[in-house]
Structure 1
Amino acid sequence: MIFPPVQEQLDIIARNTVEVISEEELEKKLEKSRQTGKPLKVKLGADPSRPDLHLGHSVVLRKLREFQDLGHEAVLIIGDFTAMIGDPSGKSKTRPQLSAKKARENGETYFEQAAKILDEEKTTICYNSDWLGRMTFDDVIRLSSHYTVARMLERDDFEKRYKSCEPISIHEFLYPLAQGMDSVHLRNDIELGGTDQKFNLLVGRDLQREYGIDPQVCVTMPLLVGTFGTEKMSKSLGNAICFNDSPEDIYGKMLSIPDELIETYFSLLLPAPSQPLELFMEIVRQNPREAKRTLAREIVELYHTGDHALAAEEHFDRVFVRKQAPEEIEEFAFPAASMPLVDLLVELGAVASKSEARRLIKQNAVQIDDRKVSDMNLELALGEEAKIVKAGKRKFFKVVIKKDFQ
């Protein structure tokens, strides 16, 4: 295997990274790899706590793809076993544990989505239950002997919780040790992760050394701020753009990001942008909205197609600029003489509960045929013609209520 010059590789690896521990060791590993023709083994671990990947995950996945393009071996660890422990990183309280079945189910969807970024044929997929699940209690005790409580309490979130008398469960101490055992088992050369994973990555490095293995280089990536412009992207916070979102949703959410995030999104999310950053930032200074439209099109194209991107832009202009209903709206038919609007919104899946439906109506965020509705007790009456129901900014439904509907 012929690899690019070491400095060229270093320049690519360093792009967008926060920290490399250590750069000197990385250079040595790359040089040895080039001399022997043997690719480095690069590990990325992912706990399938949720089945949907979002653009925040893409930041580190794209770095793994860069290693692949440089000729190195990519190993994606699906942490179905560690997900049952619950990663305490950045948490002020114990994270809920997943069942083995749920962790495995989530993990099965993970690679299908990650393959939108990674070279599927050059990626090794592992489930860490394959080795962690075989450890005996004796093995766990021996593993625990390699780390002290004092070292664990150096971790920022543990330290804060300890000082504020928030509970820390013993099983949370086992999480970084279990993740570190992944590195011991794989004997990988490099591990990638977000900045919130730094402690876990360093534990893996320490454990490799304890087990007589050349310690891994740790490469940390920035955490992507979500669409609200405050906290990191997270589906649970409602500020995420997911890989599997529709083209229309991706486009619309991209246009909603604060202007100050435009440069960050451009730099972190586009592997091959259509124009240099300097030129793009000039557009941002002159017309930030047009810059966001450009960025939105390119993001949609990454996860769908160019045609989808253009159609999503037309959909956005039609609905949000020209204030017209979408050209294509899914139709629902209900066999009833009438139906309370609150119940209808739940039946349509526009909201999760009746209380949420009432809240949406109270906010004047529900329309029927372009007419805003403020009556909580309104009933949609029997009618031959379909009515267009709009819930929130982006959800449209075509509804027919017919008593004789079969």
Structure 2
Amino acid sequence: MTRMSIDEQVALLMQGTEYGDETLRRTMEAELRERLQEGRPLRVYLGVDPRTSDLHLGHTVPLRKLRQFQDLGHETILVIGTFTALVGDPSGHLMGRALMSPEEVEANARTYAEQAFRVLDPEKTIIRYNAEWLSRLTFGDLIRLASHFTVQQFLARESFSARLDIGDPIFLHELFYPLMQGYDAVALQADVQIGGTDQLFNIVVAGRKLQEAFGQRPQVAILLPLLPGTDGVRKMSKSLGNHIPLNTTPEDMFGKVMSIPDEVMPTYFKLLTRYPPQRIAAIEQGLREGTLHPRDVKMELAREIVSIFFGEEAAERAEAHFRTVFQERAYPEEMPTFPLSRPQPLVDLLVLTGMAPSRSEARRLIRQGGVRLDGETLSEVETIIQVDRPRVLQVGRRRFMRLVPAEPE
């Protein structure tokens, strides 16, 4: 076990948590402190449904919290939801999730675990698949699980109540999901479960209640906010185009982190870095007092995040690349991003990105030397643009666009 004091452990493990209710937060913190004082390794788990094979930084937030428990010497379990993924979690969704086949789930599960080990220590991580216990439940078992809840409890959830209000259907199988996730905690006899704020009902209501029904002490809920994307407003999502993928280059990850708005930097430090609370507090104070420049802090943040996934040397190379391409050529730190999936004629690209109102205007700008790529003037109208790394397209003195390789479909 760690040499950190109980107070230090609690501060670290509660860092970045969000409950939406101060009483609940205090209750969870008190229960966590109580269990840590027992001086034994806690059974801590994170459940993930492999409904996608491509992870982004938003997916790593709960993984980073699980790693903190891991580094403190606790028993850490990554539950791959090979059974829950067949249904799909309705939390936070205003429409039903598409059903997945077992083959799709199995294929995604393999890549999910592989990418998770870029955050977790594989030698200290126990991998479990919830089909091990959920597939064995009988219809009678399901009736007994369901008897502990009311339909009103389920329909009061925001994702369900909103659909009821607009007349959209709620399918019966969606109500099974909290029962399934709650039973995960029972099967594991968990001390702690980690999840996003959208999991409050599944973890706090369903999980804790079912554990009590089975004679277990209810688990501590460690709830984390959803990471904002590169726009700084909406949650990070591939479908919204504001995500930072794990399967990318160090240079691309560095550049994308540098594109986030200054105001979300503290959130990124708390949810994505290995920094202790005291160091993050000092950074926030420096930003408030003006003793730290936001650009320098963001460079530190990008370097830390890239080093987590690619190592220190790759982070140094990515930083050097960014300085060369973006700083030494006096590019703005923040600019819109345009994903390019295939080679594109320059004239068409200028129109597609909105940097020229028409093809004729695009040709005029090119002929007059007003278009640059990474600082180099493009004077040929027939130029074809392709990108295998982030590049900067510039029109005139003030219009900039970061071109990035598009994510594969």
Q: Give the structure-1-normalised TM-score.
A: 0.78
Number of matched pairs: 357
Cα gap change, 1:104 to 1:304, in 2 (>3 Å): same
Q: 1:248 aligns to what?
A: 251
Cα gap change, 1:388 to 1:102, in 2 (>3 Å): same
- Structure 1 residue 320: Cα displacement: 3.6
Q: 1:131 aligns to what?
A: 133
Aligned residue among 205, 211, 215 for 1:212: 215
Q: Deviations over 1:163-193 (max 9, x none)?
A: 2322111111111111111111111111111
Amino acid in the other structure paired with 2:56: H
Q: 1:277 aligns to what?
A: 280
Answer whether contact 1:283 1:290 (CA < 8 A) is retained.
no
- Structure 1 residue 65: Cα displacement: 1.6
Cα gap change, 1:177 to 1:290, in 2 (>3 Å): same
Q: Deviations over 1:300-332 (max 9, x none)?
A: 1111122212222232334344569xxxxxxxx
Structure 1 residues 18-97: aligned runs within 5 Å: 18-19=18-19, 20=25, 21-32=27-38, 34=39, 38-97=40-99
Cα gap change, 1:80 to 1:66, in 2 (>3 Å): same
Cα gap change, 1:8 to 1:204, in 2 (>3 Å): same
Q: Deviations over 1:239-297 (max 9, x none)?
A: 11122221011011011101111222123221137993355343684532232222212
Answer whether contact 1:367 1:389 (CA < 8 A) is retained.
no
Amino acid in the other structure paired with 2:301: L
Q: 2:13 aligns to what?
A: 13
Amino acid in the other structure paired with 1:10: V
Answer whether contact 2:15 2:277 (CA < 8 A) is retained.
no
Structure 1 residues 310-321: aligned runs within 5 Å: 310-321=316-327
Amino acid in the other structure paired with 2:211: Q
Q: Deviations over 1:356-402 (max 9, x none)?
A: x967653267989852787xxx6x8xxxxxx7645873458xxxxxx
Q: Give the structure-2-normalised TM-score.
A: 0.78
Answer whether contact 2:12 2:276 (CA < 8 A) is retained.
no
User: Aligned equivalents of 1:92 and 1:187: distance in 2?
Assistant: 32
Amino acid in the other structure paired with 1:215: P
Amino acid in the other structure paired with 1:175: Y
Q: 1:363 aligns to what?
A: 353
Aligned residue among 148, 165, 172 for 1:170: 172
Q: Secondary structure at the match of 1:276?
A: helix
Structure 1 residues 177-192: aligned runs within 5 Å: 177-192=179-194
Q: 1:140 aligns to what?
A: 142
Q: 1:291 aligns to what?
A: 297
Q: 1:108 aligns to what?
A: 110
User: Aligned equivalents of 2:6 and 2:322: distance in 1?
Assistant: 46
User: Aligned equivalents of 1:262 and 1:4: distance in 2?
Assistant: 27
Cα gap change, 1:182 to 1:313, in 2 (>3 Å): same
User: Aligned equivalents of 2:277 and 2:179: distance in 1?
Assistant: 43
Cα gap change, 1:135 to 1:76, in 2 (>3 Å): same
Q: Secondary structure at the match of 1:315?
A: helix
- Structure 1 residue 221: Cα displacement: 1.3
Answer whether contact 2:15 2:270 (CA < 8 A) is retained.
no
Deviates more, 1:284-293 or 1:86-95: 284-293
Q: 1:329 aligns to what?
A: none
Answer whether contact 1:367 1:373 (CA < 8 A) is retained.
no
Q: Deviations over 1:76-126 (max 9, x none)?
A: 111121111011111111122221111111111222222222222111101
Q: Secondary structure at the match of 2:66?
A: helix
Q: Give the greater-gyration-radius structure (CA).
A: 1
| RMSD after superposition | 3.1
Q: Secondary structure at the match of 1:57?
A: helix
Q: Deviations over 1:9-28 (max 9, x none)?
A: 32332222224453333333
User: Aligned equivalents of 1:296 and 1:23: distance in 2?
Assistant: 30
Sequence identity of aligned pairs in percent? 44
Cα gap change, 1:142 to 1:370, in 2 (>3 Å): farther
Amino acid in the other structure paired with 2:72: L
Q: Which segments of 5 or more consecutive residues in structure 2 lack a partner in the other structure?
A: 20-24, 331-338, 356-370, 392-400
User: Aligned equivalents of 1:96 and 1:372: distance in 2?
Assistant: 49
User: Aligned equivalents of 1:79 and 1:217: distance in 2?
Assistant: 20
Cα gap change, 1:295 to 1:4, in 2 (>3 Å): closer
- Structure 1 residue 4: Cα displacement: 5.2
Q: 1:230 aligns to what?
A: 233
Q: Deviations over 1:225-247 (max 9, x none)?
A: 11111111122211111222210
Match status 1:393 vs 2:402: yes
Q: Secondary structure at the match of 1:59?
A: helix
Deviates more, 1:145-154 or 1:271-280: 271-280
Q: Deviations over 1:133-164 (max 9, x none)?
A: 22233332332222220111222211222223
Answer whether contact 2:182 2:207 (CA < 8 A) is retained.
yes
